[in-house]
């Protein structure tokens, strides 16, 4: 596992609840809506294209994916 990584949202499908984050070294990581951290349980767990985020990586049976995704406020 790797922690405290930074990247930006390449794309995120709000209807399907998943997308990809891309890092500065052009590596892409899958993101699922359940892995997005929000300030409130009522806040929607969605991401916007090109939004900056921090995240951790976790090995799953489907490969490495981003977890603990937190928006970086500009």
Q: Give the pLDDT confidence of 15-71 residue by residue, as tens digits.
A: 999 999 999 999 999 999 999 999 998 999 999 999 999 999 999 998 999 999 999
> Which two tokens mark 68?
């603990």
Q: Return the higher-pLDDT residue of 74 and 9.
A: 9
Q: Which of 52, 49, 55 is nearest to 14 (CA)?
A: 49
> Which two tokens mark 40?
């409130």
* Residue 2 near residue 68 (C-beta atoms within 8 A): no
What does the radius of gyration of the chain's CA atoms come to, in whole angstroms? 11
Domains of the chain: 4-71 (2.40.50.140)
In whole angstroms, give the CA distance from residue 64 to residue 74: 27
């Amino acid at each position: 596992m790797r922690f405290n990584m930074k990247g930006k949202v390449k794309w995120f499908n709000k209807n399907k609840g998943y997308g990809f984050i891309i890092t500065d070294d052009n590596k892409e990581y899958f993101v699922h809506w359940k892995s997005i951290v929000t300030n409130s349980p009522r806040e929607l767990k969605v991401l916007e294209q090109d939004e900056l985020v921090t995240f951790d990586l976790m090995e799953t049976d489907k490969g490495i994916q981003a977890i603990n995704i937190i928006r970086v406020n500009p």
